[in-house]
Amino acid sequence: MENPEENQVEPSDSSVGESVGQAEGPRDPSEPGTPEPAGERRGFIKFLCAFIGTLISAVPFGAGVWSYLDPLAKRNKGGGGGDGFVRVASLDAIPADGTPAKFSIVADKVDAWNRFSNVSIGAVYLRLVDGMPSALHTVCPHLGCFVDYRPGKKDFFCPCHNSNFKLDGSIVEGVSPRAMDGLRIEVRNKTEVWVKFQNFQPGHSHKVPVS
Amino acid sequence: MRSLLDWIDHRTGIRSLTREALFENIPGGSRWRYVWGSTLTFTIFVQFITGIFLWMGYSASSGDAWESVNYIQNEMAGGWLLRGIHHWMAQLMPVLLLLHLMQVVVDGAYKAPREVNYWFGVLLLLLVLALSLTGYLLPWDQKGFWATKVATNLITLVPFVGPELQQLVIGGTEYGHHTLTRFFALHAGVLPGLLVLLIVGHIYLFRRHGITPAEPVTKRDAYFWPDQVFKDVVACLAVTVAVLAVVLWSHGAHLGSPADPSEPYSAARPDWYFLFLFQFLKLPFFAGEKEVWGAIYIPGMAVALICLMPFIGRWKLGHVFNVGVIFVFLGGAGALTYLAKQEDVDGPNSATYLKGVLADTRDAQRVTALARGRGIESTALSLLKDDPKTQGARLFAQHCASCHRYDGHDGLAVELAKAESHDDLAKRTGVSSRFLSGDAVHPDWLARKTGTQDEWQPVKSVLKAKAEGPFDVIASVSPPEKPSAPDLNGFATRQWIRDLLDPDQYLSARYFGGTAHGEGAMYKKFLNRKVRKYDAEEKAMLELVVFALSAEAKLLSQAEDDKADADKIKQGIDHLIDDIGCVDCHAFGEPDPDADGPDLTGYGSRQWIIDFVKNPEHEKFYPDNNDRMPAFGVKKILTDKEVGLIADWLRGDYFEPVR
């Protein structure tokens, strides 16, 4: 085949290749004074090479993977008191007409090497049903987006995959596998609304707490 | 020089390496259609260089990530350019990858003996997508936070080990420092390392088997250098120019407001090339427990089918089938992507989406201004949480807007540019303009004629009425209930008090028309009986009372006017006490146990508002005739800090950058 670029090819310096070829190589094992190792011994050395190589390679990976698995050994250190309840609002702050209102969950939070006091760790919707408060997690049980309350339609709506829920959290339509997550709630000292704030694994038809 | 080169060549063999790299034979000569591989290598090169420089300014922790990216984008010399190139080049890469993949499949370049190289290519495609996904979270803004939450929640659907796998990926049960450190290690270490290995393998195998010539081969063969190299660098130049143009046009890349797990973000979307998967999961077929099919099994099977193409291609009609599959996949993904965008700008819930985009943009601009003007003492999020302009409005919307209004809306509206005419408004409301721009007007949002005090109306009704503009337009859905308490925009300013003392305005919905006070002594005994009959001299005295009363508020926005009008204010105080007779019903200057109306001492001042909001039934205000206003402080509905934020917001007493 004709080489269209041949005029542009810079010829190589042939002496270079020769000089490289003259470099000193390993000794010929057939020469006198170089006894051939026994096949068995050679096999053992190969095995040792592979074994030691694997072993020393495993050291950095082992140390790395061990520390990488650390989150599985840690328990969730959520905020709030010892029982997991967090004071969220005053009973009077919840609309009397049954409209849900969003409240931030403000609690202490441990994030790896930091401990933060009184920071927002999430939010809940509180509403009054026959004068008693109920709490729903604001996170969609489908894939964890923040569910909106729609005043015009008086329902909850997830702006990601269009699931919508009644005010009690039950599904109207959409792809969510379960109703919005209800949270345990207590009224303390007559007016203080306390909620046991916890997250649940999304995507399942039943509530599984994230621990 | 030559001897130096000879020396280097002797030690390294660089000449033969260069020859091997440049003088690869291209059957049929150079072609423009062969440029995609080189442009991709170039984009990856750009990403490595820009990425390493970004690394020099980035800090991967939940208290620093947004802050450092904001610094790069808005403070660092050239940072916006650096970040812009990295961001927009990443947007272009999936396009180039798809073009490359299509070309490989259509030309049959996946067939023997190039199967392994084809799989390397598929792996490279997946690696680039993984780089995009991990990079999306790193700015730690609302968009990245909520969108990546969806992505990492999908991991829990993996059979048997899902939840544990998710914990490992995000470094715990909740998003935090370790989510960022792990994502950053993947984004800047693990994935690029694998990428380099695969690219070396990809190019090695490509050279081993040679190029797959596009049929028909009509021209003579040629070497890679210089014809094909020239075409490649021209293509790379085109890529660079295109990306630089977008970077200059957008001044870098978007940065939303800092991630906040307690604030909604109604526009949580993945990057555009994942939108098809996002839309796919909306299909009713994947409802409930079947979601794993849409999220994992079917995409997994699609990738497996793409990997099997070399074997399918051996059958008689296998190649046609493969080409068909690629076009079906691309067509389907394209259609789903379009549907996702279309739904966001014209679907039944598009107002929610667009409002989410705008609210986030507003908060992002605000926190950037705060960071620049005041500095970040702890975190950017705490700047927003302590900012009256941001939090006062939110608290007002939640606790006050069921009765009150703020300039006709709930306090959270985003001001948009004016529409100059009816036609302009119609155009800005159109789907096409909304498709292109997040701040285009939505029909559910509000408009009113510029310069009037008319109530805001939904844009839909303004368009229907065909009233001529110009219009002010805001992004705020009309609150469902009618206002039943005063509109507090400009509270205690001269104009606000002037209008309050106008009998007709007092009875309008803007003031006390919707309250029991509309029937009270203020209207009946004073405004209706006296003010309506005021002559010019009395009206002049009333105007001075307006000056005096407004000066009690000590508003920052009026400080200069108050100083200039000190004499008038002094006269106004005299009129307030003597001629107009406000003190007949109100206390002023000293407590008056017989007063029926609110104490006017310090009216509209920060402390006055705080005291009023905390307890409107206090003897200073409405001990006997409070109309529905809850005692926000006494009942612990709001904390002292929250009441202070509302007061500061109403008074406009917050940081504003010097323009």
Instruction: Check which CATH number belongs to the domain holding B295 and give it.
Output: 1.20.810.10
Identify all chain B residues contacting A133, using CB atoms and an 8 Å cutoff: none
Q: Answer whether residue B16 is part of any domain.
A: no
Residues B443 and B573 in one domain: no
Neighboring chain B residues of A105 at a CB cutoff of 8 Å: 262
Using a CB-CB cut-off of 8 Å, the residues of chain A touching B260 are 120
Residue showing tokens 């009713």: B284
Residue B328, pLDDT above cutoff 60: yes
Number of domains observed in the structure of chain B: 3
Q: Is B156 in the A-facing interface, judged by CB distances under 8 Å?
A: yes
Query: Could you tell me if B409 and B314 lie in one domain?
Result: no
Contact B106, B330 (CB under 8 A): no
pLDDT of residue A190 exceeding 80:
yes
Of B475, B507, B532, the last residue of a domain is: B475
Residue A18: pLDDT band with limits 50, 70, 90: very low
Beta bridge partners of B487: B405
Contact between residue B441 and residue B345 where contact means Cβ atoms under 8 Å apart:
no
Q: Would you say residue B79 lies in a domain? A: yes
B628 touches A at CB < 8 Å: no
Half-sphere exposure of residue B36: CA atoms within 13 angstroms, side-chain side: 16
Cα B249 versus chain centre, distance = 18
- Between positions 303 and 332 of B, the ones with CB within 8 A of A are none
B439 within 8 A of B383, measured Cβ to Cβ: no
Q: At what angle do helices B115-137 and B191-209 cross, to 10 degrees?
A: 160
Same domain? For B564 and B461 the reply is no
Distance from CA of A60 to the nearest CA of B (A): 15
Mean pLDDT of chain A: 83
CB-based contacts of A149, cutoff 8 Å, min separation 6: A100, A102, A125, A155, A156, A157
Topology classification of domain A85-196: Rieske Iron-sulfur Protein (2.102.10)
Instruction: State the nearest Cα–Cα gap between B394 and chain A, in angstroms.
Output: 11
In chain A the first and final C-alpha atoms are separated, in Å, by 70
B409 in the same domain as B338: no
Note whether residue B19 is domain-resident: no
Which residue on chain A is closest to B270 by alpha carbon?
A160
Cα A102 from Cα A137, distance rounded (Å): 10
> B464 with B508, same domain?
no
**Which of residues B475, B502, B520 is at a domain's end?**
B475
Q: Which two tokens stand for residue B643?
A: 């009441």
Interchain CB contact of A204 with B (< 8 Å): yes
Buried b (16+ CB within 10 A) or exposed e, B112-150: eebbebbbbbbbbbebbbbbbbbbbbbbbbbbbbbbbbb
Q: Count Cβ–Cβ pairs < 8 Å, chain A vs chain B.
A: 178
Q: What percent of chain B is predicted at pLDDT more than 90?
A: 74
Shared domain check, B305 and B258: yes
The pair of structure tokens assigned to A200 is 């649940």
Q: Which of B204-213, B366-375, B378-387, B525-534 has the lowest mean pLDDT?
A: B204-213
From A160, which residue of chain B is nearest by alpha-carbon distance?
B268
Label the pairing between strands A148-150 and A155-157: antiparallel
Same domain, B380 and B439: yes
Measured between CA atoms, the residue of chain B closest to residue A107 is: B262
End of a domain among B475, B509, B532?
B475
Q: Does A57 touch chain B (CB under 8 A)?
A: no
Q: Could you say which residues from 112 to 131 on chain A have a Cβ atom under 8 Å away from some Cβ of chain B?
A: 112-114, 120-123
Q: Which long-range contacts (CB under 8 A, 24 or more apart) does B165-172 make?
A: B167/A71, B167/A72, B168/A68, B168/A69, B168/A71, B168/A72, B170/A71, B171/A71, B171/A112, B172/A71, B172/A74, B172/A76, B172/A112
The domain of B570 spans 494-650
Question: How does pLDDT run across B42-93, given as a tens digit for each residue?
Answer: 999 999 999 999 999 999 999 999 999 999 999 999 999 999 999 999 999 9
Q: Is the domain of B138 the same as that of B216? A: yes
Cβ contacts of B177 on chain A, cutoff 8 Å: 111-114
Query: Nearest 5°: phi and psi at B540?
Result: -65, -40
Please tell me the distance from the alpha carbon of residue A113 to that of residue B203, in angstroms, as a whole number. 44
First and final C-alpha spacing in chain B: 59
| Structural domain includes residue B232 | yes
- CB-based contact, A62 to chain B, within 8 Å: no
Return d(Cα B353, Cα B361) in angstroms, integer.
13
Verify whether the Cβ–Cβ distance A5 to B149 is below 8 Å: no
pLDDT band with cut points at 50, 70 and 90 for residue B289: confident
Query: How many other CB atoms are found less than 10 A from the CB of residue B272?
Result: 13
Q: Are residues B301 and B377 in the same domain?
A: no
Which chain B residues touch A157 with a CB distance below 8 Å? 349, 352
Angstroms from B362 CA to nearest CA on chain A: 19
